[in-house]
Amino acid sequence: MFSKERNMIADVVVDLQYGDCGKGKIAHALCRDGNYTHVIRYNGGCNAGHTIYHEGIKFVTHHIPCGVFFGIKSIIGPGCVVHVDTFLKEIEELEKQGIPAGDLVKVSTNAHVITDFHKIEDKKDEEIGTTKRGNGPAYRDKYGRKGVRALEDPRLNKYLISLYHELYENEEFEDIEILFEGAQGFGLDIDWGDYPYVTSSHCTIGSAVLNGVPPKSIRDVWGVAKIYETYVGAKDFEGPEDIFEEIRELGEEFGSTTGRPRQINWMDFDMLKMASRINGINKLVINKMDILDEIGIWRAFHGPHMLEFDSRDDMEFWIQTKINMDVDEGIDTFFSGDKHNI
């Protein structure tokens, strides 16, 4: 067993809007350039869809953390729910493409299982607009203390891991460096989102901490957003402008899990500010800059007002200045139009 001097460092990737902001791309880039011993998915289930471009090939992962692309032990944490058939199929498909997922992926013994009954029940939803993957009913049963934990499903036996033992008592690692990869986004958080049009899990940094790491271990919190907003669900979200149809096509704004068209609207800076404050970010990445470059329109909501900027440079300057003034002057902001890099 290690002494108390063992070092543990963790970085967290959080979505500051409604999901689909490019968390997978950021997590992939951090794994590529970092020295992580573990990547841990900290919330959600197969309703997630993280798009990753690895060595020129497009992958969409649902359960599997992105560490598998770099030989890093990748764990589905206790804050997640797992549909076992989907999980096993995803491993099989990754291995067919040369990614050794089966050797790297582990499931925390205290994660919960999405049963076929959960999926059947979820398909009855018409009011919230869920992905119908069974997540909501699985989380309901978890908190109702009648769920099924991963250690109770024999199909998962070869993948099971005690996360406490792994992080604190496993002598394979002298020090621990973790990347926490989140799912969905702040606007869908069960507590902070636009209830009831929310997901069933916690999408903030608090959820990462609940996966076994003390808050003092957090080094960087990477907040991820888009220069415009998208949403998939039952509520009316899309603005009236015809330009949103063009943005949808240019940005390929169709759900990576469901294929549904994402509703489009301009960035809501007040929500970006709120999400940045609550998550305590020190890194901010704003993706899809290339899409507004293409259409040449730069707009954002600030309170009840619609702001229009003369150029990309003007909008970037305004966002960075406001974030540093209203949230934290030490936040590093990156504006990205690249599918592969930050």
Catalytic residue numbers read: 20, 50
The continuous run of DSSP H or E covering 287 comes out as strand 283-287
Q: What is the DSSP letter of 60?
A: E
- How open is the CA angle 308-193-142, to the nearest 5 degrees? 155
- How open is the CA angle 26-31-34, to the nearest 5 degrees? 115
Token pair in block for residue 287 = 């993706």
Token pair in block for residue 228 = 């415009």
Which residue has 């096509």 as its token pair?
Answer: 249
Token pair in block for residue 293 = 């470059």
- How open is the CA angle 8-11-14, to the nearest 5 degrees? 145
Burial class of residue 196 in the structure, from the number of CB atoms within 10 Å of its CB (0-12 exposed, 13-18 middle, 19+ buried)? exposed
Q: CB–CB of 300/315 below 8 Å?
A: yes
Query: Of 68, 21, 19, which Cα lies nearest the Cα of 183?
Result: 19
Q: Phi then psi for 338, rounded to 5 degrees?
A: -110, 130
